[in-house]
Structure 1
Amino acid sequence: MDAPWSNKETLKKSNKLERLSNEIKDFESYIAPTKKEQLNRDTLLYSITQLIDSLWPGNTVTPFGSSVTGLQFPASDIDLNVNFEVLPKNNPIDVLKVIRKQAVSRHILPNYSTRLVANAKVPVLMATDENQVSIDITVQNECFSSDRTAVWLKEYPMLKPLFMVLKLSIANYRISSLPTFEPMSAKTAGLASYSLICMIVSYIQLQASSQHPSDPEYYANLLLGFLDFYTEFENTRQAISLEGKGAYLAKNQTDIKIDTKPGRLTIIDPDVPNANVARSTFRFDTLKTIFAKARDDLRKRISNSTKGESILSSILQVQSHYFGEPRSEGARFRVRQIWINTGEAPVKFPRKRFNQAYRPNLHVAGHRYEDERKPYRGERRYNPYNNNNNSPQRSYNNSREESYDREYQRHKKNNNSHLAQHYKNKADRAKRR
């Protein structure tokens, strides 16, 4: 079934815009976190928080992003910030190094899944646990976007279903001439999630105020109107302002610089003076091509669809299964890509020279990259040809089993039954290995 989020009654509606509206609301429920996904996320968040509290009592560990706002997808990562009154190390990078070392030694995170990005504007420790839940940890990083988003979600109830559909469908598209471009990733010059939220709020404030949520076609008109509006949006001539009831400001109406390059987008940050929310977006012209394609795909399906056929699946394609069956969970949840053929040759990015030394994107104090990599502790421990140390060593599985068993006893003592059962199962699996 190409639309497992909706039942037959929804798909049989003769009014096609009403059918699309119901599909949008159904998709919000379909993509909501399952009990297993929520447990895995809560377990990792609890373990990391307890670890940091044990290292530096008195700190403030604050989740932010989709974990707080509820705008999370099956594979969304956890964003976590640690604040100190007095930084316990020389800089945030050294703090993140300690967190990584301790998380690996306590078997919270596997060593191979951790990556410390030190040369970013805000240094971040990125990692994935055994349940394929990802986490990004920062230090002394104030983030206002989560609080602002929470306020908007209360003020505009239609924001959440529209965001969930738009983010996943926009991310679904790929451009033939830019095969590595990810539309919903600021890392590839696309849109950040908060930028999309601001765009939706601005559209609701200024373009959709005349529509009433009780209209059966309301969400369909919102989706089509959003794609119509931003396909033609003059991003080189005006900035999006979200103050008060919202506005579109020309160059002479704002202090912030409006970049005239076709790929730039200017969204005035409502919380940080003279800051551009979309400062990492450099391919908005490509995004407008995607908006136009999604709009055309929807209108074509609306014109040609028969009774019982999904309209939303024209821009949003998930793994096929029947309505009522559980969807794939966590990182196993996949969305099928829709390619847009531009007729242009793919852009070739410069490659490194053959003999160029590999320089990892990691911060290692005092490390010379041209030196041969030293084996890490795990390799030295399990290398059968290393006879330097004849003392008996505990196997990895045994030490991990003991660690899980300690966590099980601790949670059982504290009456955390669901976490206790979780670690008991992990200890049993380690014992069987």
Structure 2
Amino acid sequence: MSNRQAAIQRITRIITAEYPGVKVEYFGSTLTGLLLPTSDIDVVAVVSGPGGPAAWLRGCYVAMQRHNADVKCSELVTKTKVPLLKFVDVATGMNLDLSYASMHHYNQPQGVANSSWIISAISRYPLLPKLVTVVKEYLRRRSLHEVYRGGVSSYVVTLMTISFFQHQATGDNLGRLLLRFLQYYGTEFDFDKQAIIVTGNGAIISKSDMRRKLGFREISLSLSIQDPVESGRDAAAPSHRGMDAAKRAFREAHDALQRAVDRSTQTGDTVSFLEVIFDYFKHSRHLRYF
């Protein structure tokens, strides 16, 4: 059994012991496979009783103190669109993010439904996992990977990458795909005026059309993406604080890679794209794609 599986089983046992009738599901990168060794485990508790997310998670925070030999609560994040209880599985050191879903309002929690949609997209774009993995790691190293700290969610990164494969990607050279991805989102895509649709064959539309034709009332001031599962929701809205920084990071990475490619062309030396943007990676078995 892997550390992730053990941690999931342990938190499921603890939550269901404290709250009989609550259903525990995991989603995100653990379900889709688009994960890094450091990726948190996303867990949702599907609750049928009274109370909203913040109140229930506060109660759960108190209940978890009775199990501090197994889990250590690190942070309760309530001033966000999706409140979270962050904790660590003691035995494995794995970080987990626990969120809340009401059994009365959802047939399937949003995160789980989103993850299922992503899995179907992977079958259409087989190079998607490798490119997403590198982009996620790059943002993590720039401290732009946690939404509640002003970063960009893994879900948004994945949807951006799917749109890239729908409209920009050519060939199967992963190095060239990475360079083109960074150029596209770092210098070409108009975050202020354009919006992304990934359902079907995908589309790039204006934000005015997103309002007028799709009926969006609230659209992010930065990147906007129609959620493929909940079509009336802007999936990128929670990440709006991090998009300007992410765009700058993509542009800087592209410029660094392009300079390295130009030098390589002149000297004939081999260039490692990963070493250029991460300054390491010869030892990383997870990112030996480029």
What band does the TM-score fall into relative to the shorter chain? Answer: 0.7 to 0.9
Alignment of 1:275 with 2:233, yes or no, is yes
8 Å CA contact 1:100, 1:114 repeated in 2: no
Match of 1:240, SS state, is: strand
Paired with 1:303 and 1:51, the residues of 2 have a C-alpha distance of: 55
Q: Residues 58 and 283 from structure 1, CA distance in 2 versus in 1: closer, same or farther, beyond 3 angstroms?
A: closer
Paired with 2:254 and 2:261, the residues of 1 have a C-alpha distance of: 11
8 Å CA contact 2:84, 2:97 repeated in 1: yes
Question: 1:70-219 to 2 correspondence within 5 Å?
Answer: 70-84=33-47, 86-87=48-49, 90-106=51-67, 107-110=69-72, 113-130=73-90, 131-140=92-101, 142-143=109-110, 144-173=113-142, 182-208=143-169, 211-213=170-172, 218-219=173-174
8 Å CA contact 1:298, 1:312 repeated in 2: no
Amino acid at match of 2:273: I
Alignment of 1:232 with 2:188, yes or no, is yes
Question: 1:301-340 to 2 correspondence within 5 Å?
Answer: 301-305=260-264, 307=269, 310-318=272-280
Q: Residues 298 and 309 from structure 1, CA distance in 2 versus in 1: closer, same or farther, beyond 3 angstroms?
A: closer
CA offsets per residue over residues 57-86 of structure 1, 9 Å max, x none? 4432110111111112122111111113x3
Unaligned stretches of 5+ residues in structure 1: 1-37, 174-181, 328-433
Amino acid at match of 2:32: T
Paired with 1:82 and 1:43, the residues of 2 have a C-alpha distance of: 17
Paired with 1:232 and 1:48, the residues of 2 have a C-alpha distance of: 44
Alignment of 1:221 with 2:182, yes or no, is no
Corresponding residue for residue 291 of structure 1: 250
Corresponding residue for residue 106 of structure 2: none
8 Å CA contact 2:260, 2:271 repeated in 1: no
Paired with 2:75 and 2:220, the residues of 1 have a C-alpha distance of: 36
- Work out which structure has the larger RCO, using CA pairs closer than 8 Å and 6 or more positions apart in sequence: 1
Corresponding residue for residue 40 of structure 1: 3
Amino acid at match of 1:122: V
Higher helix share: 2
Match of 2:44, SS state, is: strand
8 Å CA contact 1:48, 1:103 repeated in 2: no
Q: Residues 58 and 226 from structure 1, CA distance in 2 versus in 1: closer, same or farther, beyond 3 angstroms?
A: same
Q: Residues 119 and 299 from structure 1, CA distance in 2 versus in 1: closer, same or farther, beyond 3 angstroms?
A: closer
CA offsets per residue over residues 70-119 of structure 1, 9 Å max, x none? 112122111111113x31x5444454345444443232113xx4433334
Larger Rg: 1 or 2?
Answer: 1
Q: Residues 293 and 134 from structure 1, CA distance in 2 versus in 1: closer, same or farther, beyond 3 angstroms?
A: same
Amino acid at match of 2:14: L
Query: Could you tell me how far 1:212 is from its partner in structure 2?
Result: 3.9
Question: 1:258-407 to 2 correspondence within 5 Å?
Answer: 261=221, 264-280=222-238, 281-305=240-264, 307=269, 310-318=272-280
8 Å CA contact 2:219, 2:237 repeated in 1: no
1:246 counterpart (175, 191, 202)? 202
Question: 1:8-47 to 2 correspondence within 5 Å?
Answer: 39-47=2-10
Corresponding residue for residue 62 of structure 1: 25
- Identity over aligned pairs, percent: 28
Higher strand share: 2
Paired with 2:271 and 2:206, the residues of 1 have a C-alpha distance of: 44
Query: Could you tell me how far 1:277 is from its partner in structure 2?
Result: 1.1
Q: How many equivalent pairs are there?
A: 268
Paired with 2:242 and 2:25, the residues of 1 have a C-alpha distance of: 32
Paired with 2:197 and 2:253, the residues of 1 have a C-alpha distance of: 25
Query: Could you tell me how far 1:193 is from its partner in structure 2?
Result: 1.1
Paired with 1:320 and 1:312, the residues of 2 have a C-alpha distance of: 9
8 Å CA contact 1:184, 1:191 repeated in 2: yes
Paired with 2:79 and 2:258, the residues of 1 have a C-alpha distance of: 44
Corresponding residue for residue 395 of structure 1: none
Amino acid at match of 2:203: A
Query: Could you tell me how far 1:171 is from its partner in structure 2?
Result: 3.3
2:12 counterpart (43, 49, 55)? 49
Paired with 1:258 and 1:53, the residues of 2 have a C-alpha distance of: 37
Q: Residues 278 and 92 from structure 1, CA distance in 2 versus in 1: closer, same or farther, beyond 3 angstroms?
A: closer
8 Å CA contact 2:28, 2:41 repeated in 1: yes
Paired with 2:220 and 2:96, the residues of 1 have a C-alpha distance of: 36
Paired with 1:309 and 1:124, the residues of 2 have a C-alpha distance of: 41
Q: Residues 139 and 170 from structure 1, CA distance in 2 versus in 1: closer, same or farther, beyond 3 angstroms?
A: closer
Q: Residues 46 and 227 from structure 1, CA distance in 2 versus in 1: closer, same or farther, beyond 3 angstroms?
A: same
Match of 2:136, SS state, is: helix
Unaligned stretches of 5+ residues in structure 2: 103-108
